Amino acid sequence: MPKKEKKNEKVDEFIRPDGRKYDELRPYKIRAHILKNADGSAEIRLGGNWIIAAVYGPKEHFPKFEISQDRAILNCRYHMNPYSTSERKSPKPSRREIELSKVIRNALTQSVILDDFPEMSIDVFIEVAQAEGSTRVASITAASVALADAGIPMRDMVVGCSAGKYNGHIILDVGEIEDKEGEADLPIAIMPNLRKVVLLQMDGKMTHEEFKKAFDLALKGAMQLYEEQLNALKNILESMSTLGEGEINEKK
Amino acid sequence: MKRVIALPGVSIHKGPAQKVDEKIIRDARGYVPSLVGVAQISGKSIDLIPYKDIYRPVKGDYVVGVVVGYAPNGWFIDIGSFVKAFLPAADVLNKRFDPRKDELSRYYKIGDVVGLYVSEVRRLGNILVTVKDVKKTKDKRLGKLTDYYIIKVWSTKLPRIIGKKGSMIKLLKEKLGGDLLIAQNGVILYKGPYEKFMVLNKIIALITAKTFATGLTEYVNDLINKMLEVNLDKKDEKEGDD
């Protein structure tokens, strides 16, 4: 996990286009159980990102010839709404969306205990309502909470965070401008308690040392988001264990 | 006994334990729950009350399901589990099923609500049900159910609706009267006046929303008394207007 900074190391005082420091996340909020009809659901707001994840299942898989005899199939769909970007995006699944669906599915498959449900399938739907950079890692974070909310057994939560390089500085949680104009970005997803990396992609160029620094920074950000994930789940349980007045207004 | 919040991946107990819930994994991290819920650690046993879990049928369970389709020799029934259950026609007819003479829709149509026993669970995808009284208890309603109000909850909420040694269900039966029946797959059947059903509906909504609260039975007792009083008052007013 993230190492402590050495004292004699120079602290980067670079101020980013949106006024953040190099190791600062955008304001974040995760809420679980937001949709009534889905089996499990969650929402994440990370800066300008607003992503909703919903889970259905486990249920019978169709078509039958695809079923796997010893484990469940995890289907995943990452989709950006037409109004999620500044210019209208065609609702048709693009090459990028199909790729992201695959990497998200691969990341989540590591955690979900699929052996418990032979011949079944679990569907994860991720809708990006508003996009502002680093949506793939935010999607994984939200989908993991939605899976936990649906009562699907998991080995550990999955949490993602990104780091990158902008104007020669290593930065945490790449935003939209930094993503477009920056030199490199590095999204990662981890299982914090099992200490495993389940997603690691990189775009652009970084030296070996810059990569190490960016990776450590992304781990640090992921741990902050992990705390928020647990809080989102704890909030549901706490609301279920306090008896308060005004739950049912029988007189109205 | 210690109650702790269980979150997937977060270790809740280290050291020896003998009786451990099957939803808790054991590895180098200690005992780790795989579901969200509340864990009860007492002595050497760890128990997990999940916040949500899908109903897994067990042989001998009383369930209530909806007919969703016809098979050549029986019906497909949705009992709220992973897959649909199969009800063989021979069980309902009490004789050998002959497709040339017997018409399935004469017995059960799509949309009918049926009370059943689980007679066999071969694998997750293969559940057989029957309308025969396997347990011979005679207190369960089997076959086509009509004139019942139905409430559906997650099957993990049932222990709380029944209560410790049946305290909650006894209370509900005593206060509401009528015919109140609970099926293992999370279906609650009620036959009685509409006003009392509405009270029951609100109480069940409260219990499912406050599953992990302590002192729920007393709280519900007070609430029912209040709600029934309000209902009685309304009736008086109506009679007075006439």
Could you read off the pLDDT of B54-64 as tens digits, one per residue?
888 889 899 99
Q: Which residues of A touch B52 (CB under 8 A)?
A: 39-40, 149-151
Count the domains in chain B: 3
Please state the rounded mean pLDDT for residues A102-129.
94
Determine contact: B50 vs chain A, CB below 8 A: yes
Determine contact: B23 vs chain A, CB below 8 A: yes
Q: Which among B114, B146, B178 is the end of a domain?
A: B146
CA angle B20, A195, A159 (to 5 degrees): 95
In terms of domains, do B180 and B192 share one?
A: yes
Residue A249 binned pLDDT confidence (cut-offs 50, 70, 90)? very low
Determine contact: B51 vs chain A, CB below 8 A: yes
Q: Which residue has the tokens 């305290």?
A: B167
Distance CA B97, CA A238 (A): 54
pLDDT of res. A9: 60
Residue A19 has pLDDT above 80, yes or no: yes
Which position has the higher pLDDT, B239 or A50? Answer: A50
In terms of domains, do B140 and B67 share one?
A: yes
pLDDT of res. B210: 86
In terms of domains, do B197 and B154 share one?
A: yes
Residue B101 binned pLDDT confidence (cut-offs 50, 70, 90)? confident
Which position has the higher pLDDT, A186 or B233? Answer: A186
The dihedral over CA atoms of A191, A195, A201, A203, expressed in degrees to the nearest 10, equals 120
pLDDT of res. A116: 87
Residue A160 binned pLDDT confidence (cut-offs 50, 70, 90)? very high
* Binary contact (A118, B123; C-beta < 8 A): yes
Could you read off the pLDDT of B105-156 as tens digits, one per residue?
999 999 999 999 999 988 766 889 999 888 777 777 888 998 899 999 988 8
CATH number for position B213: 3.30.1370.10
In terms of domains, do B84 and B109 share one?
A: yes
* Domain ranges for chain A: 28-234
pLDDT of res. B149: 92
pLDDT of res. B2: 85
| CATH match for A28-234 among 1.10.357.10, 3.30.230.70, 3.40.50.300, 3.30.70.260 | 3.30.230.70
Q: Provide the 3-class DSSP secondary structure of residue A178.
A: helix
CATH number for position B69: 2.40.50.140
Q: Lowest-confidence range among A35-49, A184-198, B45-59?
A: B45-59
Asked if residue B241 belongs to a domain, the reply is: no
pLDDT of res. A2: 56
Residue A46 binned pLDDT confidence (cut-offs 50, 70, 90)? very high
- Cβ distance B30 to B10 under 8 Å? no
Could you read off the pLDDT of A233-244 as tens digits, one per residue?
999 888 888 876
- Among B54, B205, B206, the residue with its CB nearest the CB of A151 is B54
Asked if residue B203 belongs to a domain, the reply is: yes
Choose, out of B3, B24, B36, the residue to mutate when testing the contact with A (most A CBs < 10 Å).
B36
In terms of domains, do B13 and B67 share one?
A: no
- Among A191, A243, A248, the residue with its CB nearest the CB of B213 is A243
Question: B195 is in which domain, residue-wise?
Answer: 150-233
Interface size between A and B, measured as CB pairs under 8 A: 114
Please state the rounded mean pLDDT for residues B222-239.
76
Residue A251 has pLDDT above 80, yes or no: no
Q: Which residues of A touch B84 (CB under 8 A)?
A: 60
Residue of A nearest to B228 (CA): A250
Residue A6 binned pLDDT confidence (cut-offs 50, 70, 90)? low
Residue B235 has pLDDT above 80, yes or no: no
Residue B242 binned pLDDT confidence (cut-offs 50, 70, 90)? low
Q: What is the mean pLDDT of chain A?
A: 90
pLDDT of res. A250: 35
Residue A127 binned pLDDT confidence (cut-offs 50, 70, 90)? very high
- Among A40, A58, A157, the residue with its CB nearest the CB of B9 is A157
Asked if residue B56 belongs to a domain, the reply is: no
pLDDT of res. B74: 92
pLDDT of res. B155: 87
Residue A10 has pLDDT above 80, yes or no: no
Any idea what DSSP says for residue A116?
Answer: G
In terms of domains, do B181 and B161 share one?
A: yes
In terms of domains, do B136 and B155 share one?
A: no
CATH number for position B40: 2.40.50
Determine contact: B8 vs chain A, CB below 8 A: yes
Residue A80 has pLDDT above 60, yes or no: yes
Residue A3 binned pLDDT confidence (cut-offs 50, 70, 90)? low
In terms of domains, do B66 and B142 share one?
A: yes
- Exposure letters B148-175 (e unless 16+ CB within 10 A, then b): bbebebbbbbbebbebeeeebbebbeeb
pLDDT of res. A95: 97
pLDDT of res. A247: 46
pLDDT of res. A186: 95
Could you read off the pLDDT of B146-171 as tens digits, one per residue?
889 999 998 888 888 888 888 899 99
pLDDT of res. A192: 95
pLDDT of res. B125: 62
Residue B82 has pLDDT above 50, yes or no: yes
Please state the rounded mean pLDDT for residues A123-150.
95
**Can you name the residues that pair with B42 across neighbouring β-strands?**
B45
Please state the rounded mean pLDDT for residues B78-86.
88
Q: β-strands A49-60, A40-46: how paired?
A: antiparallel
Could you read off the pLDDT of B172-199 as tens digits, one per residue?
898 888 889 899 999 999 999 998 899 8
In one-letter notation, the amino acid at residue B27 is D
- Cβ distance B81 to B187 under 8 Å? no
In terms of domains, do B171 and B120 share one?
A: no
- Exposure letters A91-127 (e unless 16+ CB within 10 A, then b): eeeeeebeebbebbbebbbbbbbbebbbbbbbbbbbb
Q: Provide the 3-class DSSP secondary structure of residue A211.
A: helix
Burial of B194 (0-12, 13-18, 19+ CB in 10 A): exposed
Distance CA B186, CA B26 (A): 30
pLDDT of res. B53: 82
Asked if residue B238 belongs to a domain, the reply is: no
Q: State both tokens at A208.
A: 């070996």
Residue A246 has pLDDT above 50, yes or no: no
The secondary structure of chain B as a DSSP string is -EEEEE-TT---B-S--SEE-TTEEEETTEEEESSSEEEEEETTEEEEEESS------TT-EEEEEEEEEETTEEEEE-SSSS-EEEEHHHHHTS---TTT--GGGT--TT-EEEEEEEEEEETTEEEEE-S-SS----S--EE--S-EEEE--GGGHHHHH-GGGHHHHHHHHHH-SEEEE-TTSEEEEES-HHHHHHHHHHHHHHHHTTT-SSHHHHHHHHHHHHHHHHHHHHHHHHHH-
ipTM summary value: 0.85
pLDDT of res. A248: 41
